[in-house]
């Protein structure tokens, strides 16, 4: 049929539109169903539009079974049928059927890849979508929001991310700060990768106008304080909300309060969340001296890294190596508690060798530094000399040594060691005196000070230190004789260069 529909159909279409705009989806479904009984009278285009609206109402009511039933009878509106499958978590099926024919199918394809932990294919879809010229502001926001969620599932904690989409998302947010979901994902990603003071979580909270959406924002704000061990605010986690968020909240509550963790990670967590769960679980079990359970959690964490091909095994990416380095350090400390320190040290040395054989990048350097510092701690359980500390820091990867804190620490140690090595004999004697090595101090003063009549003012002051060193090393007669020789030359001007030197204090040293 072509031409203008009859007045009865037009009236029904107006009523249909009013019900939909009023969000009365049940009434809309009823009206759509009645209209579709007159398909021939509607004409193809109108009937197709009514059919799509009917399926969208089922989506609003989360009646995905009805949409799936439609999909068994027709190949039309494939994107909505795939959406119903996606909502029923049939990600494998959706990834195999979704095409790039529509923006919705592209989103479904990328998100299905994401839930299947197929990160690279997901990112390729989003990058292709961003290149499309007809992507308007709202669509770009959705793409960037979802793409950042994909990126956050793969990043290495504490290691900065230079992903191009991070820069694009930040530029977009500078112009459109009102999009709280994008601000939330961007701020969370920044906190994960080295920016504890990211402003975007607070901006997400300011932009949020839905109380239900505040839960994940507040959760991540508190979580970022915990992650970076800041003390700006008390760490409190709400236990309300959807099950994945509730699971995260309960995990963090357990970490804060020492409560038992759940036996398994939540099934909807992404790869990073699962790894963080097993790592935190292992650390908590180690701290609770549950060493067998700790080792089991470490093995569970190991299973999340590496090739799916069990014959190959082991780490395959820098992120995998980063996580395995964390596992090996925990296991080394377990060996230490089992009085197997030599084995622990050997294991960490092997890990360093493995990491150093990899292609260098920031994640690998971070992992090397982490293992080397813990190896140094195991090798020097009591205390290390300044020279040993300096040697350890100088052995760190170049990118880590270039960090301001490391540069400053190395400079301080070098200055301390250098000043110690360049001390004059009388300065060394003064140091010995302060350390309580009185006999050694007296010997140095005796060898390197001229006789009292030949001393200048500074040397006369040092003679007073010599007197003290003699007295405190029980060389009383010699001390008295020196005092008798020095005192007439002082004229009340010279004073000991050792401030507030007290015999009892020195004995305590």
The predicted-structure confidence for 44-70, as pLDDT tens digits, reads as follows 899 999 999 999 999 999 999 999 999
CB 224 within 8 A of CB 211: no
Per-residue confidence (pLDDT) for residue 300, from 0 to 100:
92
State the DSSP code for 14: H
Residue 262's pLDDT is what?
61
- 105 contacts 82 by C-beta, under 8 angstroms: yes
Residue 408 corresponds to which tokens in the numbers above?
């400053």
Mean of pLDDT values over 233-261 = 50
Ranking 42-51, 156-165, 247-256 by mean pLDDT, the lowest is 247-256
Report the range of poorest mean pLDDT among 232-236, 369-373, 402-406, 415-419: 232-236
Q: What is the dihedral of CA 114, 155, 246, 239, to 10 degrees?
A: -150
The values of phi and psi at residue 432, to 5°, are -60, -40
The model's confidence at residue 477, banded by pLDDT at 50, 70 and 90, is confident
- Give the pLDDT band of residue 227 (cuts 50, 70, 90): low
Residue 127 tokens read as 């990058």
* pLDDT of the residue at 40: 85
Helix, strand, coil percent content, the chain, rounded in steps of 5? 70, 0, 30
pLDDT attached to residue 375:
93
- Alpha carbon distance 467, 207 (integer Å): 74
Q: Quick one: pLDDT at residue 509?
A: 32
Contact 478, 508 (CB under 8 A): no
CA distances from 258 to 30, 220, 303 (A): 54, 20, 25
Residue 309 in this model has a pLDDT that exceeds 70: no
């Amino acid at each position: 049929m072509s031409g203008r529909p009859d007045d009865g159909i037009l009236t029904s279409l107006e009523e249909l539109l009013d019900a939909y705009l009023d969000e009365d989806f049940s009434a809309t479904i009823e009206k759509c169903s009645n209209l579709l009984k007159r398909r021939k009278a509607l004409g193809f285009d109108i009937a197709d539009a009514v059919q799509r609206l009917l399926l969208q109402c089922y989506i609003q009511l989360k009646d995905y079974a009805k949409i799936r039933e439609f999909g068994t009878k027709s190949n039309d509106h494939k994107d909505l049928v795939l959406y119903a499958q996606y909502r029923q978590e049939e990600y494998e099926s959706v990834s195999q059927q979704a095409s790039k024919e529509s923006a919705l199918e592209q989103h479904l394809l990328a998100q299905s890849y994401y839930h299947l932990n197929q990160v690279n294919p997901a990112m390729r879809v989003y990058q292709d979508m961003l290149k499309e010229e007809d992507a308007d502001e709202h669509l770009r926001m959705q793409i960037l929001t979802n793409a950042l969620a994909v990126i956050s599932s793969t990043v290495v904690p504490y290691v900065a991310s230079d992903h191009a989409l991070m820069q694009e998302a930040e530029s977009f947010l500078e112009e459109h700060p009102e999009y709280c979901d994008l601000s939330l994902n961007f701020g969370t990603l920044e906190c994960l990768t080295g920016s504890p003071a990211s402003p975007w979580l607070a901006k997400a909270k300011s932009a949020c106008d839905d109380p239900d959406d505040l839960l994940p924002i507040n959760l991540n704000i508190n979580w970022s304080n915990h992650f970076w061990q800041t003390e700006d605010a008390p760490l409190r986690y709400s236990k309300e909300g959807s099950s994945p968020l509730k699971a995260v909240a309960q995990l963090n509550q357990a970490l804060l309060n020492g409560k038992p963790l759940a036996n398994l990670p939540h099934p909807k967590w992404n790869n990073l969340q699962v790894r963080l769960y097993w790592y935190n679980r292992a650390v908590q079990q180690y701290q609770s001296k549950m060493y067998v359970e700790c080792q089991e959690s470490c093995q569970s964490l190991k299973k999340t890294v590496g090739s799916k091909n069990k014959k190959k095994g082991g780490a395959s990416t820098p992120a995998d190596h980063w996580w395995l380095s964390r596992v090996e350090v925990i296991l080394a400390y377990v060996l230490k508690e089992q009085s197997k320190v030599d084995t622990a040290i050997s294991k960490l040395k092997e890990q360093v060798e493995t990491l150093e054989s990899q292609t260098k990048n920031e994640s690998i350097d971070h992992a090397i530094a982490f293992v080397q510092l813990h190896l140094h701690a195991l090798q020097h359980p009591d205390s290390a000399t300044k020279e040993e500390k300096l040697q350890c820091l100088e052995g760190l990867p170049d990118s880590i040594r270039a960090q301001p804190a490391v540069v400053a620490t190395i400079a301080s140690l070098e200055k301390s060691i250098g000043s110690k090595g360049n001390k004059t004999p009388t300065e060394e004697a003064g140091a010995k005196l302060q350390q309580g090595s009185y006999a050694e101090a007296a010997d140095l003063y005796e060898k390197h000070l001229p006789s009292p009549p030949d001393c200048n003012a500074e040397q006369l002051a040092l003679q007073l230190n010599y007197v003290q060193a003699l007295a405190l090393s029980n060389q009383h007669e010699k001390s008295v004789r020196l005092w008798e020789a020095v005192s007439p030359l002082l004229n009340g001007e010279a004073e000991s260069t050792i401030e507030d030197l007290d015999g009892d204090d020195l004995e305590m040293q």
